[in-house]
Structure 1
């Protein structure tokens, strides 16, 4: 598949970990988007599509929330998918028991570790929080689960306490520790510093769970990998609480195209996955959304269209088929003769050069009058100047 990127990218050496895990939380954190509620069938359909995409881990939900939620998580866990199925559990035995009842492969257990969370949400001291977390990790490991421990609001937690927490989590058997950038409050430079500091005290895998409050979730995740992390949390279309989470499609395509790190995903299913989640959440995909937006491979400007017709990579970093999209040439105010001629050929019209110029003028005028130039409007314009229609 063809693509063309800046040669300057290669001037800097990037050192990614050999093995990177992407665990998608569309069905858990994505469902915490206000107004979103998946049915069991919705979750199963999305999980199957994620598995077709070849995602590594699916965070299927939060079983303790309700009996229906637990039923949905259990159904996904028993669907026979290739992806590892994990779920969320508070640092409570009842939550872990419920996860075990759902037949999942593992859990993400969590507790807020920042002083603001401990004081205003948990109402406990640091040592008490530490004790609770370690007992939960120990209990889950004793029952054969993969265990990831997530320090909620990690990026606003005292560094020494965070180091102590992750170090103890490793000693109690945690398979992975998560840095939850709960309110998106860290920078790429900050996440680099933090992970390098944590690497001094722990050898287990470090994951980044980044929120997008400042639009930095994807780049923070990438910088986290470059600094020594090895797992990333994503959601399809970047959905989630407030401004959402790191977008699966943006992260995967940035790694693949810009950084040359192909994780083996079936990217041709990205558009189908995006549209499925958009349908089930009833959240539209912004037209300018990177990778999956309708405008990503649509061209109107005459200068652009002329070049794209000759060589698509003049105005596209990669070909649309790579992510299951299609290129569209859109007619409007900025269209030129070449774009209109291409549309005429597509519709089966034969015109003279004089008629072509008239059609271009009429297209521009119609768009400026507020009409969207779809196929029907375009055909009406062409017929209005007595062009001969050829049925191809």
Structure 2
């Protein structure tokens, strides 16, 4: 109650009440019984409602809590008039099916909004967030690059990638997706970390294609190997011709970009040279361009 009063004095628009409800946290963290938790929660909620601020109540470690206990608690706080209840996978152990079942059950108990908070210790945070929305949740906690305790929480960018596929028109109209790259770069620089190479959307490999079979199809129709259109995010795809798995169709495309006229057989021949060189050392685009130009010059001289 003292904390709630201080928050109101500070002029906040809303107050978030959180307490651990699992047996682990009740025994080793705060030592309160479920009866005491409910009694205290209702007292604080009543005070806050009288102060005309928004109120959210969340259990912590929800998925290791007794289902009957937390449903009774949520029903009580919903009846007291909270604007939103929250569930939290505090240790990252929940699965999408567990999330769907709990949120769906909770949706039948409360009439207020439902917020979800998923940690990523087992790599399920994005899938869990998506399942929560399918089950009736209204809000999902995210952070830029998923930064948070331990492995962090649902990453904003990866969740946007999922939502662009699930609800494209809603997501593209609600969010300025072309700012995602700049936002993640800003945060990564501020906290001195690198954006992972395989990060959805903004990782440098996200829209890079190397394998010959991929490159051929991508050049004909990008949707063959891309579920996301990079242009939605203000980005572009890159068909690499710098590796030992380069395909000749990708090399053909680059030769055409450079204005180097060659037959298919000639492109295949220079592709072998590029692959052989890539086996010896890493190649940059300037290296492969030099190989292409040198080979084309040899053809002209011949």
Both proteins in one fold, TM over 0.5:
yes
Verify the 8 A CA contact 2:215 2:239 in the aligned structure 1.
Answer: yes
1:122 alignment counterpart: 30
**Alpha-carbon distance between aligned partners in 2 of 1:104 and 1:381, rounded to the nearest angstrom:** 64
Verify the 8 A CA contact 2:8 2:51 in the aligned structure 1.
Answer: no
Match of 1:201 among 106, 109, 122: 109
Report the 3-state secondary structure (helix = DSSP H, G, I; strand = E; otherwise coil) of the residue aligned with 2:141. Answer: strand
Give ranges in structure 2 of 5+ residues lacking alignment: none
1:151 alignment counterpart: 59
2:3 alignment counterpart: 94
The answer to whether 1:367 aligns with 2:278 is yes
Match of 1:173 among 75, 81, 85: 81
Q: Summarize the Cα distance change of 1:270–1:96 in structure 2 as closer, same or farther, 3 Å threshold.
A: farther
**Alpha-carbon distance between aligned partners in 2 of 1:385 and 1:303, rounded to the nearest angstrom:** 24
Q: After alignment, is 220-229 or 150-159 more displaced? A: 220-229
**Alpha-carbon distance between aligned partners in 1 of 2:148 and 2:157, rounded to the nearest angstrom:** 14
Deviations 1:285-331 (A, max 9, x none): 22222232221211111221122112111111132111222111112
Q: Summarize the Cα distance change of 1:174–1:374 in structure 2 as closer, same or farther, 3 Å threshold.
A: same
**Alpha-carbon distance between aligned partners in 2 of 1:106 and 1:228, rounded to the nearest angstrom:** 23
**Alpha-carbon distance between aligned partners in 1 of 2:61 and 2:227, rounded to the nearest angstrom:** 36
Q: Summarize the Cα distance change of 1:105–1:344 in structure 2 as closer, same or farther, 3 Å threshold.
A: farther
Verify the 8 A CA contact 1:93 1:139 in the aligned structure 2.
Answer: no
Report the 3-state secondary structure (helix = DSSP H, G, I; strand = E; otherwise coil) of the residue aligned with 1:242. Answer: coil
Report the 3-state secondary structure (helix = DSSP H, G, I; strand = E; otherwise coil) of the residue aligned with 2:216. Answer: helix
TM-score (norm 2): 0.86
What is the CA-CA distance between 1:129 and the residue it aligns to?
Answer: 2.4
**Alpha-carbon distance between aligned partners in 1 of 2:159 and 2:102, rounded to the nearest angstrom:** 20
Deviations 1:139-172 (A, max 9, x none): 3333322111111111111122212221222233
Question: Higher relative contact order at CA 8 Å, sep ≥6: structure 1 or structure 2?
Answer: 1
Q: Summarize the Cα distance change of 1:228–1:382 in structure 2 as closer, same or farther, 3 Å threshold.
A: closer
**Within 5 A, what are the aligned runs for 1:1-392?**
92-94=1-3, 97-98=6-7, 101=10, 103-259=11-167, 262-263=170-171, 264-331=174-241, 332-346=243-257, 348=258, 350=260, 352-353=262-263, 356-371=267-282, 373-385=283-295, 387=297
Q: Compare CA radii of gyration and give the structure with the larger one.
A: 2
What is the CA-CA distance between 1:195 and the residue it aligns to?
Answer: 2.3
**C-alpha RMSD of matched pairs (Å):** 2.5
**Alpha-carbon distance between aligned partners in 2 of 1:251 and 1:228, rounded to the nearest angstrom:** 17
Q: Summarize the Cα distance change of 1:370–1:143 in structure 2 as closer, same or farther, 3 Å threshold.
A: farther
**Alpha-carbon distance between aligned partners in 2 of 1:314 and 1:200, rounded to the nearest angstrom:** 41
Deviations 1:210-250 (A, max 9, x none): 11222222222222222222211112222222222122223
Verify the 8 A CA contact 2:61 2:88 in the aligned structure 1.
Answer: yes
**Alpha-carbon distance between aligned partners in 1 of 2:107 and 2:239, rounded to the nearest angstrom:** 50
More helix by share: 2
**Alpha-carbon distance between aligned partners in 1 of 2:46 and 2:193, rounded to the nearest angstrom:** 40
Report the 3-state secondary structure (helix = DSSP H, G, I; strand = E; otherwise coil) of the residue aligned with 1:177. Answer: strand
Report the 3-state secondary structure (helix = DSSP H, G, I; strand = E; otherwise coil) of the residue aligned with 1:295. Answer: coil
Give ranges in structure 1 of 5+ residues lacking alignment: 1-91
Q: Summarize the Cα distance change of 1:199–1:374 in structure 2 as closer, same or farther, 3 Å threshold.
A: same
Report the 3-state secondary structure (helix = DSSP H, G, I; strand = E; otherwise coil) of the residue aligned with 1:344. Answer: helix
